[in-house]
A and B are shown apart, each in its own frame.
Chain A
Amino acid sequence: MAKSVLVIGGGPAGLGAARILGKLGIPTILVEKEDRLGGNPILNHYHTLIPRKLKPEQVLGPYIKEVESNPNVQVKLKTELTACEGEPGSYKVTLSNGETHEVGAIVVAKGFEHFDPRRKGELGYGLYPDVITNLELEQMFSREGRLYRPSNGQLPKRVAFVFCVGSRDRQLGVTNVHCCRYGCALSGLQAMEIKQHYPDVDVFCYYMDVRTYGTWEYPFYWAPQEQYGVRYVRGRIAGITYSPADGRLRVKHEDTIVQRPAEVPMDLVVLVLGMEPSAGTKKVAKILGLAQDPDSKFLVPSEESGSNIISNKPGIFIAGACKGPIDIESSLAEGEAAGAEAAAFVGAKVTV
């Protein structure tokens, strides 16, 4: 019988890996720290996903079901990796529930964490109730199904999206100079959702660049602008204040096109959060001896390999947001690729 494979992390990347391993008939152990599978999109109740505008359950549900029902895959919730010994081809792993297993290969898919916007004090998050995160906006949609100002429960007349909060920012140290990659596109989608339901609400996006890369340019930048009249203003928001006189917020910035300072009234301000490597990612890097970017601490692929899922340790593969900001589709695909690599590594003989 082929050796088994350990998959760490039950988000999109880990699900992709476990699914393909199970399908290939490889005994697979999937450990997930939380009490359910699905990773950030499910655990944090994302509303609608870029780029296909589906619900997280629609995208990840089939993966979860397949993984849970495949007899080759053992899912271990509320479980983490605590130690690892041995060498490529036969790693002895210890889990937080006390179990030990011998596995031929490991797929690491521990994902990311959301940036904590309190670290940007000038943006007033936590201070003014009408400053919220894009994650909270997702949850407002998915849990309550309506748009409102937390301060008074009323519909905002104007909404501002503040791009790059916790991204591309040296003030946070060397750790957060990367681009979050999903932020611009998700804001475009959220802005469109607002306009679809509340056509009279004016929506503004404050940007440095609009990085809706690849095929996302049209659906998440041009469409919000052209079809929904979302306005894009170039200038990073340098401060958010509150005016007791009218109960509205002010977004302080330089309109870099006009070259003038601006403090424009807004009713709801949405901070577009950056992505940081999860605590688990940092922990597992130590346990397994995986190479990390010295600044951001995201995992980095082997220097010898052209593929970004091959780690510096033979038999250990890395997939998804533990390597840096990435979208769900790519996380799934990377997970599947990493799973297939792992299967090949443990010498699975697959007949179709």
Chain B
Amino acid sequence: MDVSGDWNLIILPRVINDYDLDFAKEVMSLPEGKTMIQCYQCSYCTASCPVHNYWDERYNSRHFIHLARLGLIDELQKRADVMWRCVSCHKCTHRCPKGVLVEEVLKAILKTMAKKGLIDEYPSKKFDKFFTESVLEYGRIEDGELLFGWIEKQGYNVVKDPILKKPIPFLGETPEWLKQLVMKPIKSMNISFLVLNAKHMLFHPRTKNWNKFKQVLRKVVQEEGGLT
């Protein structure tokens, strides 16, 4: 007999009283979300997933698929803080016995949630967008600029050269983890590579025949709501 008095909590609405099937439909209308319907909840994907196994067991691809397929939005939102943690290792997709493109489906779920305003802009998405912007602009990415540009976006003070307005590595604020991460490879680098990378930071490598294509790309990305 429970005499704790917690009883009164029973009045909290715990019961699922409907599905939101339109949400599921929207996920599955995306080419990368199409295979969501095939899942039979065996959890092969989750058992293979490094994020689930070594980081946070609340990250559970199988579970997200179930929730999305029935449109249990509030349950998805409860997991919004972990849903974006996928590292795209593709173990899930590789092993799913049902042929679900799990990694893609999870991204389709996130995209749909973002589009419907059901999830806040999460850090990895911010970076993904930042990266994509750079690709759209130049056709190519440049590691140094990407890194320091991103750091600047995170609110660090990055020092730039006065003429080209390009970030000068390590002169401004640099997070400790980054120093550690970058110094090791730099130390072992051949001097000509260092020069090359410095040059690339100043003069971003570009795809030459790019302008016309860029416009089409931008249009497509915008249509998909990719940059909003």
Contact = CB atoms under 8 A, between A and B. Distances in A.
Interface of A: 202, 210, 221-222, 225-226, 229, 231-234, 255, 257-258, 260-265
A231 to B, nearest CB: 6
Contact of A226 (B18, B38, B72): B38
B41 interface: yes
Contacts of A210: 40
Interface of B: 14-19, 21, 37-38, 40-41, 63, 66-67, 69-70, 72, 75, 98
Contact of A260 (B14, B19, B40, B98): B14
Contact of B15 (A226, A233, A262): A262
Contacts, number: 48
B72 A264 contact: no
A264 B18 CA distance: 5
Nearest to B28: A229
Given A234-B41, A264-B16, 20 more contacts: A202-B21, A225-B38, A225-B40, A229-B37, A232-B40, A255-B16, A255-B70, A257-B41, A258-B66, A260-B15, A260-B16, A261-B14, A261-B15, A261-B16, A262-B15, A262-B16, A263-B16, A264-B18, A264-B19, A265-B18
A226 B41 contact: no
Given A225-B40, A229-B37, A232-B40, A258 B75 contact: yes
Nearest to A252: B15
**Dominant secondary structure of chain A at its interface with chain B:** strand
Q: Which 6 residue pairs spanning A and B have beta carbons closest together? A: A262-B16, A257-B66, A261-B15, A226-B38, A229-B37, A260-B16
Given A231-B69, A231-B70, A233-B70, A258 B37 contact: no
A258 B38 contact: no
Contacts of B70: 231, 233, 255
Nearest to B98: A222
A225 to B, nearest CB: 6
A261 B66 CA distance: 15
B74 to A, nearest CB: 10
A262 B63 CA distance: 16
A185 to B, nearest CB: 15
Given A233-B70, A234-B41, A258-B75, A263 B63 contact: no
A263 B19 CA distance: 10
A261 B70 CA distance: 14
Contacts of A232: 40-41
Given A229-B37, A234-B41, A258 B72 contact: yes
A210 B39 CA distance: 13
A257 B66 CA distance: 8
